[in-house]
Amino acid sequence: MTLTTLDLVIFISYIIAMMSIGLLMARSKKTENSEDYFLAGKEFPWWAVGGSLIASNISAEQMIGMAGSGFVIGMAISSYELMAAATLLVVAKFFLPAFVKNKITTMPQFVERRFDGRVRTGLAVFWVMLFVFVNITSLFYLGGLAISKIMDVPLTFSIIGLAIYSASFSIFGGLRVVVWTDVIQVIVLVFGGTMASYMALNALSGGEGVMAGMEELFRRAPEKFNMIFDKDDTYVDIQTGKTESSYALLPGIAVLIGGMWIANLYYWGINQYIIQRALAAKSIQEAQKGLVFAAFIKVFMPFIVVLPGIVAFVMQADIQKADEAYPWILSNYVTSGFRGVALAALVAAIGSSISSMANSASTIYTLDIHRVLIRKNVSEKSLVKIGQITAAATLVIGVLMTPLLENFGQVFQFIQEYTGFVSPGILCIFMFGLFWKRTTTNAALVVLTISIPLSLALKFFFPEWAFLNRMGFCFLVLSLIMIVISYMGPAPSAQQKELAADPADYKTTNSFNILSIILLSILAAIYAILW
């Protein structure tokens, strides 16, 4: 792709500005204790919480990965976005109150109080490995691939550049710098992504506008707007030329009532790098408003992250991998100047997510592994230093691991499936720990121990199962085990039971309830129209 001088000026100016803001914010307010570094002193209003949630979530795996999946299987992949909106309402009403009431800083901290230190350590190790070896690594690869294609630079240089950019506001200032830079980046992300989709649709319609472009998409590729797949629905893998099952990726009604809920409740409800923003809000009400705000933005995101892939399909994009669809759109249909903005939006999405994950991996390692297992009597100042070193280390490891992903086709699906080996067991432990006071420590330990082996066994013996169905089945089996073992052993102590949520904690404001009804009505209408 040829970038004009204007594109380069806009892009480079944005990069320099964001790195400068991050470093200046880190220097302007020294972080002297762990709560300040990892929870920013609990200072965030609702709009900062919601904006940071979206900036942290929407990254290369969405803008590149979901566009690639949109190219291959169509709008159905947006179920991850749409069902996430519904999940955010559930998390705001039922999960968040228990965490805030118990003054939780990290998710492993909750399970130690509810169960014991063994469960905390096991989950902490799982999460750090997942963040570093799956999430951060995949973000470096997808982001580096996009920048490499768009700017015609070697992939290695793109990845290293992303690491330096992310480090500028993820290491020194902690969560405060990450969130406030997220607020800026989410504005650039939404504006730049919207303009890219607008120009692609306008080009498809021959300059007749977005609505004409949408009509053209529906006319030329109606199959790409099927939201619920049947078992005989297929797609062609453009790398191998083989016909594959669409149902195996998104198994019919399971996206509404099955395994999709396992993936989303895990990601939005107990994933440290997501829930950490809500825990740093000024109050529970501000946190809940922030999650509703994020939910409404999620409903709009398919326009930004999926439609470009469908446009690339209809325009018969000359690409070798599905994940090249979004860079192809930027290269061919976004005009000079706006191309620089769109590229800045892409980097904003990637950088905010990488910095968020690095910060959260650092939080869990520092507070749940280092302080617990390695050096218990560590000072607050030393904890901050350890957090900074760990954040830097996660970035370095992620860069070194990136080449391993080059042989994957739809990297978004890789992320979902391999996260799915861990998420059913962890979600099971939290769900029962939060909502069933009879749940015992022994039950949680057994579930933690067998979760990954069970998922691997199901994949080995039933390879034909869709991974979302496998996740749902695994969750049901683990839940049954949790119930049986809990009844077999002694009841938890009164102190452990006290950590579980009470019905009184679920009360929400009228504005929250009204906005939730509006949001759910929009989601119901979308699925009713595109069923």
Residues 55/183, Cβ–Cβ less than 8 Å: yes
Query: For residue 237, what pLDDT band results from cuts at 50, 70 and 90?
Result: confident
More confident residue, 240 or 190: 190
Dihedrals phi, psi of 483, to nearest 5 degrees = -65, -45
More confident residue, 61 or 256: 256
pLDDT for the residue numbered 89: 95
pLDDT for the residue numbered 82: 93
Does the pLDDT at position 415 exceed 70?
Answer: no
Instruction: Tell me the average pLDDT across 76-103.
Output: 89
Over residues 245-290, the pLDDT tens digits come to: 888 888 888 888 888 899 899 889 888 877 888 888 888 889 999 9
Instruction: Tell me the average pLDDT across 211-236.
Output: 88
- Report the 3 state secondary structure along 280-342: CECCHHHHHHHHHHHHHHHHHHHHHHCHHHHHHHHCCCCCCCHHHHHHHHHHHHCCCCHHHHH
Query: What's the rounded Cα separation, in Å, for the pair 141 and 406?
Result: 8
Instruction: Tell me the average pLDDT across 411-429.
Output: 76
Query: What's the rounded Cα separation, in Å, for the pair 242 and 479?
Result: 37
Query: What's the rounded Cα separation, in Å, for the pair 167 and 406?
Result: 24
Query: What's the rounded Cα separation, in Å, for the pair 347 and 193?
Result: 11
The DSSP result for 168-221, as a single string, is TTTSSSHHHHHHHHHHHHHHHHHHHHHHHHHHHHHHHTTSS-HHHHHHHHHHH-
pLDDT for the residue numbered 473: 92
The DSSP result for 60-80, as a single string, is HHHHTHHHHHHHHT-GGGGHH
Domain chopping of the chain, boundaries: 43-419+501-529
The structure's pTM equals: 0.85
- Report the 3 state secondary structure along 381-435: HHHHHHHHHHHHHHHHHHHHHHHHHCCCCCHHHHHHHHHCCCHHHHHHHHHHHHH
Q: At what angle do helices 5-28 and 338-364 cross, to 10 degrees?
A: 30
More confident residue, 410 or 100: 100
Instruction: Look at residue 115 and give its three-state secondary structure.
Output: coil
CATH topology of domain 43-419+501-529: Sodium/glucose cotransporter (1.20.1730)
Query: What's the rounded Cα separation, in Å, for the pair 500 and 383?
Result: 29
Minimal CA–CA distance to 306: which of 62, 4, 23?
A: 62
Indicate the burial class of 459 (C-beta count within 10 angstroms; 0-12, 13-18, 19 or more). middle
| Radius of gyration, CA atoms only, the chain | 22
Query: What's the rounded Cα separation, in Å, for the pair 89 and 68?
Result: 28
The region that residue 503 occupies, defined by phi over 0 for left and psi between -120 and 50 for alpha, beta otherwise, is alpha
Lowest mean pLDDT among 6-20, 130-144, 281-295: 130-144
pLDDT for the residue numbered 411: 55
Question: Which amino acid, one-letter code, is at 95?
Answer: F
Does the pLDDT at position 183 exceed 90?
Answer: no
Q: What mean pLDDT, rounded, does the chain reach?
A: 84
Q: Which residues pair with 243 in a beta bridge?
A: 236
Return the H-helix or E-strand segment holding 245: strand 243-245
pLDDT for the residue numbered 41: 66
Lowest mean pLDDT among 30-34, 366-370, 488-492: 30-34
Over residues 326-375, the pLDDT tens digits come to: 888 888 888 888 888 878 877 877 877 788 788 888 888 888 888 888 87
pLDDT for the residue numbered 272: 80
According to DSSP, the β-strands at 234-236 and 243-245 are antiparallel
Over residues 79-92, the pLDDT tens digits come to: 989 999 999 999 99
More confident residue, 72 or 29: 72
